[in-house]
Structure 1
Amino acid sequence: MKLKKNKRKKRIFLWVFLLLLLATLLGGGYYWYKGNQNPRNLVAGEAFPATKDAHKMTAKEMKAFKQKEVDETQFTLTIFPEATFNQETLAGNLYIKNEPVNAYPINVKVNLDSDKSLVYESGMIQPGYEITKAKLAKKLTAGTYKATANVEIYDNKTKQKRGTTQAVVTIQVNE
């Protein structure tokens, strides 16, 4: 009986020892694997080369380069998603910016989502221009309205519409 208990204790001890050994090996392997994931920084033998023939572009050259670099297929628009207006004066804060990197002027029409009625139209906004103050085109009762800003993109040369995009706007009308 004692021999059986002794044998059983040895077997349990062996299993515990093997599990601890396995856990240690797995932990060490994981630590080694994670430590070798990031590439080591290489240090070059020589210092940064000295400037030889390069010169800084003039402001005129930079402007010409940036203008040439404008990608006519891309458009960046900034519209703050919340606009606040006064119920009596219809005046308020609405932020729309036609980024200077754009090639095209825009016109923004804001329509209420509920009935599609026009509540604001910006008129032409050239690249690099912005609107911060606006006046509603129609009187609204005090409250919060969901609206859509329909942005019309125009070609400066042909004056033809090139495309449209939209942005969600929440209009808050205060008493």
Structure 2
Amino acid sequence: MTLRVEPRVPLQLSYAVLGRPSNIAYDTERNEAVLFQLKWQHNAVVDTRARRSAARNLITEGARWIRSVGDWLDRHGVHELGQRAGLAFRPGIHVEMFVLARYEAGFPGVLEKDERATWADWAHLLRTLWDVRRSSPKEIAQRLRADASRAQTSHEDESFFMPLGDLTIAFNPPVEPWERC
């Protein structure tokens, strides 16, 4: 696989930057491109509130990027993107979008992710690239999605309640109590 990576290509319409992929990789052999958006949020594993906030921010900002880049591509086309990046895309190119988080991209039960892109954390992407070195960007996206789906379904039922005298304690609730209102 031959990849050519170009950094930060601005996508503008009416003088406003709609979206800016952090990087573009082009597999010249398979005629597939990947647009990467890097989201380096802070690690919030210990604090549940901070974790949910980080999840909302990641998913909201990622969805905004996916929407704006998708709209831009619908208006201008993939070949205009290639031209701005200095890449000569061949006809029939396949484009993937990846939203990459620094620490974690899987936040089940917080918000629905825009499935037009593949969501992964940096370590998961690196491990997948190592495991499937000769795969195309499309195959890498499929592997990342399958891994994430397997991980999510294996942890769906971790929320449970435990009575403690007259009090019931909820462990790992699917939503914060104040979010039910």
Question: TM-score, structure 2 length as denominator?
Answer: 0.22
Larger Rg computed on CA atoms:
1
- Select the structure that is richer in helix: 2
Question: TM-score, structure 1 length as denominator?
Answer: 0.23
- Select the structure that is richer in strand: 1
